Structure 1
Amino acid sequence: MLTADQILALSPDDSSAKAARGLLAPAKWPTLGHDEAAIWGECQGSGSKPYQVIIDVSGPSFKCGCPSRKFPCKHGLALYLLLAQKQSAFTANTQPAWVNEWLSARQQRSEKQVEKKAAQAEAKPVDEAAVAKREAKRLDRMLGGARDLERWLADLVRQGIADLPAKPATYWRETAARLVDAQATGLAVWVRQLESAVSSGEGWQERALLQMGRMQLLTDALQRLDSLPEPLRHDVRGSAGWTADKDEVLAGNDRVGDTWQVLGVSHDENDKLWERRVWLRGLTSDRDALLLDFSHGGRRFDQVFVPGTRLKATLCFFPSAAPLRALLVDAPVEAAAGAYGEAVVTWDRALDSVASALARQPWFQRLPVLLHHATPVLRGRQWLARDADGREAPLRVSDDDGWQLLALGGGNPLTLFGEWHGVHWRPLTAWHPNEETPCWTEVLTVA
């Protein structure tokens, strides 16, 4: 069973968590029940009929009859919290019809998906010649976009970058749009990130030049793709915007079955497209893994991952010179809880690991770092993470979260996991030393 903190970590925003806490009185729930498969309840709302709320604990996955577009809604969070805090209030242990119907429908959909994949595998073989022709045509368009980007970067260097902060938004938008038209969506992302670096405040020149250097390296690599080793070729195409076919990835040989620690979960939103990153560490393989998912219009994902939990699963890694991104081969099974995996103690060791990964694959946008001895420190208006040797690195964290981390540690070190972005570290999860359950997880506030 999840703890209250782990349940609240599933909240889409602070307001939902706060509203869920206001629904913890059992009197507001005329029906409460649970068994090994599900948790259910009826919560009295403003209407005449109570909202029917169900949680499939294998996910967990949530279902609620309320009109909220948030997922999970306050009712689903409150129901889970009630079970964690007041289990004696759950008197029913036989599923009502409405619970059984929903669970059965989910099972049927899952079975149909399996059947569909099996049918596709047995379907008529793909016309490989036609596929190769389409891929060659798209690659040619991407190469054209890369050459255009290379000329654009050369113009920036020739004219100087001092006036880049004064460039209008249309300047960057139009450049990115041309790359999208060339089917090089990854290169368009790099342009938008360059715009962000230019507008990042003091010291932007160094960050912009670093971004431009990586972009130039990518355009060079894309134009001599055939001469690169195959793993690096996959990295170059992916960084430029070529989406790997999941079936091809799953057909690969880099499969790892392990018990995986969920170290952290992060979300980012761009033009209504939500990106979720789930960071895992294999307890036996000692491999890091990234599960990357997308959802349009809201943070709705089929599988829920809770920081601090452990899952037994087989992952298949994308081909890469430094494999990190992976796909689930099968549905994960919850494993017994335990302490976090091995963590580095100092920033020097952490950055050596980062440098090693970047030497093999220079276009990583973020890399996982688990630091055992991390003390939050405020210098002026900048939060930093101090290691065991007194070395400090910038934290990308809100002021409120910085103070909360400092308070949780009481001035003493915490174990922190986060994403290294090249110039700063975004903390996602914190533990007190040698404890199994996180004491803090990042909650992204959504307007």
Structure 2
Amino acid sequence: MTLSTEAVLALAPDDASAKAAKGLLAPAKWPTLGYSDEAVWGECQGSGSKPYQTQVDLSGPVFRCSCPSRKFPCKHGLALMLLRAQSGASFTAAAPPPWVAEWIASRRDKAEKKEARAAEPAAAPDPAAAAKRDAQRWKRIEAGVQELARWLDDQTQRGLAALGSEQQQAWGAMAARMVDAQAPGLGQRITQAAELIGAGEAWPARLLDRLGRLQLIVDAVPRRESLSPATLADLRIALGWPQDREGLLADGERISDHWLVLGQCTDERDAKLVERHVWLQGRASGRRALLLDYSHGGRGFETGWVSGSERAAVLCFYPGHASQRALVAELLADAPASTAPATDTPDEWQRMAQQIAANPWQPLLPMVWAEAVPARHGDQWWLRLDAAPQALPMQLATQEAWQLLAHSGGAPLRVFGEWDGEQFAPLTAWASGAAAGSAPVWTLAGVRA
């Protein structure tokens, strides 16, 4: 895998890491630089007597470094790939040294063992035990939902406009009770709704919309036996019911395609947990997919994705109506080395309406706008859609918004991002009408604000 300078910088966890990596590009700081078909490695001289050993598995790319940084990839890994992109002649083709070969071998062994486990016949499940566990969980959820129904009724009877910041603590307590009732999805939705109290204009109407979706879940739980399997799967996901990974890989819908990486972002959920969204679109199928991954304690992610690139893979989709979330069942080796923006859809609004009609509990919807111009009015950033007399409010940090506007120069861009029902969060932008093979002109870098 050969990455451009822009693609490497797009992998940086934040702007500070990218800047620090650029400061390590002096050849004198790297007494050793080498590469093979599988990996790139180097030794970077730091402040200590022993240089840091930095290596990258090109199948990902996946980074590893002996430095103590908790960021992933660290500045040394980014600098190594930047050097590879800008000064390939500085690297020596050679057999990997032991510290690289052992790591590559361990990753290969882990992958082979994983494949072997997947090929083994699964242990026969105990239907009676599984049914008993499900019944116990549903009983706790039903009790929690009944309490939530009474609480929602109290909020609407008191009037939403009278709510203030002092009520947010009480809402947090209700969210915690939903977690105790084994419905963490409801707790998260209550927490997100509480953040709207007093936030901006017309916040009572926005809050009412969130509470209405909660009420829809409340109404669905006691009627679950009458729901279709797909609707029941959507309800379980909305409740935060965990999906068995092995069962999903065994029974889930599989699609093999060349997947275009539309965009990606990372969000800090707490001091140690990072959530990553990677959005894909199948070249042949046109299916959009969300890979949702988590990294704890700065350990990084197992697979690296480059916005604008293309990879051949088999994805396994979660059950439900218009399901978007998927797992990578298999990465294929025959992906063409192209970087092409995804093909246009006939009507993004129609596609969005169909997604919401199929599953009203989806928190995020991917959208691609072929002709869009970023603009600023007052304190609010907007994305003007030339194909329609509409503008979407943008959720984007000020610095990133100015950079997107600079790349636009007032001209239309092709923009991909996430729509949460109220705001559009751009993740990637291409020049309008960019031909296949062109790279994005802008990508969201680092942890999202």
TM-score, structure 2 as length reference: 0.95
Root-mean-square deviation over aligned CA pairs: 1.7
Give the corresponding residue for 1:277.
277
Hey, what's the Cα distance between the residues in 2 that align with 1:56 and 1:424?
37
Give the corresponding residue for 2:336.
335
**What is the CA distance between 1:211 and its match in structure 2?**
0.3
Give the corresponding residue for 2:141.
142
Hey, what's the Cα distance between the residues in 2 that align with 1:199 and 1:13?
31
User: CA 1:122 to 1:248, structure 2 compared with 1: closer, same or farther past 3 Å?
Assistant: closer
| Residue correspondence of structure 1 range 31-46 to structure 2 within 5 A | 31-46=32-47
Give the corresponding residue for 2:90.
89
2:265–2:444 Cα contact (<8 Å) kept: yes
**What is the CA distance between 1:330 and its match in structure 2?**
1.1
User: CA 1:232 to 1:445, structure 2 compared with 1: closer, same or farther past 3 Å?
Assistant: closer
Give the corresponding residue for 1:212.
211
Give per-residue Cα distances to partners, 1:132-154, cap 9 Å, x unaligned: 10111101111111111111100
Give the corresponding residue for 2:65.
64
| Residue correspondence of structure 1 range 253-272 to structure 2 within 5 A | 254-271=253-270, 272=272
SS of 2:268's partner is: strand
| Residue correspondence of structure 1 range 24-423 to structure 2 within 5 A | 24-119=25-120, 121-123=121-123, 125-252=124-251, 254-271=253-270, 272-298=272-298, 300-333=300-333, 334-344=335-345, 349-388=347-386, 389-423=388-422
1:344–1:371 Cα contact (<8 Å) kept: no
1:313–1:331 Cα contact (<8 Å) kept: yes
Hey, what's the Cα distance between the residues in 1 that align with 2:299 and 2:288?
24
Mean Cα deviation higher: 250-259 or 107-116: 107-116
Mean Cα deviation higher: 368-377 or 391-400: 391-400
| Residue type at the aligned position of 1:51 | Y
Give per-residue Cα distances to partners, 1:240-269, cap 9 Å, x unaligned: 111111122222252110000000111122
Give per-residue Cα distances to partners, 1:74-133, cap 9 Å, x unaligned: 0000000000001111124332122111111111222223334445x343x222101110
2:265–2:447 Cα contact (<8 Å) kept: no
SS of 2:161's partner is: coil
1:222–1:237 Cα contact (<8 Å) kept: no
2:414–2:431 Cα contact (<8 Å) kept: yes
Hey, what's the Cα distance between the residues in 2 that align with 1:7 and 1:377?
28
**What is the CA distance between 1:292 and its match in structure 2?**
1.0
Hey, what's the Cα distance between the residues in 2 that align with 1:113 and 1:329?
11
1:235–1:361 Cα contact (<8 Å) kept: yes
Hey, what's the Cα distance between the residues in 2 that align with 1:89 and 1:105?
27
Hey, what's the Cα distance between the residues in 2 that align with 1:13 and 1:177?
32
Give per-residue Cα distances to partners, 1:31-84, cap 9 Å, x unaligned: 111121100111100111111111000010111111111111000000000000
Structure 1, unaligned stretches of length 5 or more? none
| Residue type at the aligned position of 2:326 | A
| Residue type at the aligned position of 2:255 | V
**What is the CA distance between 1:351 and its match in structure 2?**
2.3
SS of 2:195's partner is: helix
| Residue type at the aligned position of 1:307 | S
Mean Cα deviation higher: 94-103 or 36-45: 94-103
1:344–1:372 Cα contact (<8 Å) kept: no
Hey, what's the Cα distance between the residues in 1 that align with 2:111 and 2:398?
43
Hey, what's the Cα distance between the residues in 1 that align with 2:154 and 2:410?
50
SS of 1:335's partner is: coil
Structure 2, unaligned stretches of length 5 or more? none
2:45–2:52 Cα contact (<8 Å) kept: yes
Hey, what's the Cα distance between the residues in 2 that align with 1:405 and 1:393?
15
SS of 1:198's partner is: coil
> Identity percentage over the alignment?
46
1:274–1:299 Cα contact (<8 Å) kept: no
Hey, what's the Cα distance between the residues in 1 that align with 2:126 and 2:446?
45
Mean Cα deviation higher: 97-106 or 209-218: 97-106
Mean Cα deviation higher: 365-374 or 399-408: 399-408
2:70–2:299 Cα contact (<8 Å) kept: no
TM-score, structure 1 as length reference: 0.95
User: CA 1:332 to 1:201, structure 2 compared with 1: closer, same or farther past 3 Å?
Assistant: farther
| Residue type at the aligned position of 2:385 | D
User: CA 1:332 to 1:418, structure 2 compared with 1: closer, same or farther past 3 Å?
Assistant: farther
Hey, what's the Cα distance between the residues in 2 that align with 1:209 and 1:141?
26
1:317–1:327 Cα contact (<8 Å) kept: yes
SS of 2:251's partner is: coil
SS of 2:196's partner is: helix
